[in-house]
């Protein structure tokens, strides 16, 4: 796999590895390491296969820098409208969240050097700088993301090196709840943690000269990195804090503070990791929305910049207190967008004749398609119970 494809795999991984990773131990610890691991593997398998379905649809329509381009060629006008509505709802909500989080982070950093920016100014400054990077093109996002991802992995490795020696084997076997319904409810958090699908159309276009095997490996590697990272982090956190402690934390900040008390310097490292994870996720999501808008509105980059970032920025500034309620519905939107829409696209293109030695097609046939449909229904059930 060449550097361009490795960089693309890191964009996939960076988009998935959001700051929500740190909340995974608090969500799963009460059910024990075994059940938490099995559920995460189940969610990863279904999400990755759905991503391969979207890869197939994108390749068979000749590539497309946005979901809009693929939906237009596979689902018709009505399907294109539904896909766009779901995608915009999801991406704008996510960008609002990242701008709010990044604004807080920028505000803290600037305060440390003697300035007192307002929350609004911090959010505007972050959006202008990060938005300019995204507007420069996928190749710029790729190169910056490699550096950010390296920093994020180093922070994670430092954290694991600090935590692993203190692991208590009794804590790994401990669990506070045997409620399997409550365990299923956590599926929505895990599913959102693998929400990288939105960047696939952009990356297929970016790697237009890659073979079908290289594109497939790009997706699998990109999704496997967050899986391994999540499992290692869950193992280290659960091994150092009991399940009863983890479930009492009200926020990620509580978890970071608790670990920071045990290990000097760890609170700072985890804060760095959180900031980098948030930034890599922002870049991936913003790139997907930017390419979507460029495909629809066909205007210059400055105009696309305004269309892409003004609305999420206004939402972050005006109504941050209401956003968390909105974000609760993002998981349901993502189920339709990441599971059912790629299924519909793939079923459509499979009715046409293609030379499968040249064009990628996900394996498994009708059995796999039926299984992924049931997987989507399971995720909807987990959202509403």
| Chain centre distance of CA 100 | 17
User: Total structural domains in the chain?
Assistant: 1
* Measured CA angle at 254 (ends 249, 258), to 5 deg: 105
CA-based nearest residue to 233, from 296, 169, 156, 120: 156
Angle, helix 3-16 to helix 266-297, in steps of 10 degrees: 110
CA-based nearest residue to 219, from 238, 197, 235, 239: 197
Residue with tokens 């059930």: 381
Highest mean pLDDT among 64-68, 167-171, 220-224: 220-224
356 — pLDDT class (breaks 50, 70, 90): low
- The pTM (predicted TM-score) of the whole model is 0.86
Cβ–Cβ contacts within 10 Å for residue 324, how many?
Answer: 10
Task: Classify residue 357 as exposed, middle or buried by CB count within 10 Å of its CB (0-12, 13-18, 19+).
Answer: exposed
Task: In whole angstroms, give the CA distance from residue 200 to residue 110.
Answer: 35
What is the model's pLDDT at position 325?
Answer: 54
**What separation in angstroms does the CA of 337 have from each of 26, 27, 193, 203, 225?**
27, 24, 15, 18, 22
Q: Is the pLDDT of residue 108 over 80?
A: no
Report H helices in the chain: 3-16, 24-28, 33-60, 67-74, 76-112, 119-135, 138-163, 169-173, 180-185, 187-193, 200-206, 212-240, 243-246, 252-262, 266-297, 301-318, 320-327, 330-335, 341-349, 365-384
Residue with tokens 């709802």: 89
What is the model's pLDDT at position 181?
Answer: 87
Q: Is the pLDDT of residue 39 over 90?
A: yes
**What separation in angstroms does the CA of 311 have from each of 24, 91, 298?**
30, 11, 18
Task: In whole angstroms, give the CA distance from residue 300 to residue 375.
Answer: 40
Residues 237/25, Cβ–Cβ less than 8 Å: yes
1 — pLDDT class (breaks 50, 70, 90): low
Close Cβ partners of 260 (under 8 Å, ≥ 6 residues apart): 266, 267, 268, 270
Q: For residue 344, give its domain range.
A: 3-384
Q: Is the pLDDT of residue 110 over 90?
A: no
Q: Is the pLDDT of residue 340 over 60?
A: yes
Task: In whole angstroms, give the CA distance from residue 72 to residue 33.
Answer: 44
| Each residue's pLDDT tens digit, 147-179 | 998 998 898 888 888 888 888 777 777 777 788
CA-based nearest residue to 233, from 1, 2, 4, 37: 37
In Å, the largest CA–CA distance within the chain is 64
The CATH number assigned to the domain holding 267 equals 1.20.1740.10
């Amino acid at each position: 796999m060449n550097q361009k494809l490795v960089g693309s795999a890191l964009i996939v991984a960076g988009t998935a590895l959001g700051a929500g990773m740190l909340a995974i131990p608090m969500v799963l610890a009460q059910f024990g390491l075994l059940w938490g691991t099995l559920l995460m593997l189940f969610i990863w398998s279904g999400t990755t296969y759905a991503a391969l379905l979207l890869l197939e649809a994108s390749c068979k329509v000749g590539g497309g820098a946005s979901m809009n381009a693929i939906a237009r060629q596979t689902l018709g006008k009505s399907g294109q409208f539904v896909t766009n509505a779901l995608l915009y709802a999801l991406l704008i909500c996510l960008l609002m969240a990242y701008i709010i989080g990044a604004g807080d982070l920028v505000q803290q950093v600037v305060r440390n050097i003697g300035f007192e920016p307002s929350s609004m100014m911090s959010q505007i400054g972050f959006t202008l700088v990060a938005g300019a990077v995204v507007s420069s093109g996928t190749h710029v996002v790729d190169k910056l993301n490699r550096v950010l991802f390296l920093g994020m992995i180093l922070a994670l490795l430092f954290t694991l090196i600090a935590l692993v020696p203190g692991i208590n084997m009794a804590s790994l076997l401990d669990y506070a709840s045997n409620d399997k319904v409550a365990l299923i409810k956590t599926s929505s958090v895990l599913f959102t943690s693998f929400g990288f699908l939105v960047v696939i159309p952009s990356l297929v276009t970016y790697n237009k000269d890659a073979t079908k095997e290289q594109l497939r490996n790009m997706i699998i590697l990109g999704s496997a990195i967050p899986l391994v990272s999540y499992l290692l982090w869950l193992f280290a956190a659960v091994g150092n804090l009991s399940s009863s402690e983890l479930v009492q934390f009200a926020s990620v900040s509580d978890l970071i503070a608790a670990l920071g008390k045990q290990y000097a310097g760890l609170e700072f490292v985890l804060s760095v990791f959180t900031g980098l994870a948030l930034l890599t996720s922002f870049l991936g999501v913003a790139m997907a929305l930017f390419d979507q808008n460029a495909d629809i509105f066909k205007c210059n980059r400055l105009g696309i910049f305004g269309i892409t970032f003004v609305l999420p920025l206004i939402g972050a500034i005006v109504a941050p207190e209401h956003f968390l309620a909105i974000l609760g519905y993002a998981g349901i939107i993502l189920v339709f967008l990441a599971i059912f829409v790629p299924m519909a696209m793939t079923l459509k293109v499979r009715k046409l004749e293609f030379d499968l030695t040249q064009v990628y097609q996900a394996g498994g046939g009708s059995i796999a398609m039926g299984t992924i449909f049931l997987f989507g229904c399971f995720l909807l059930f987990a959202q509403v119970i």
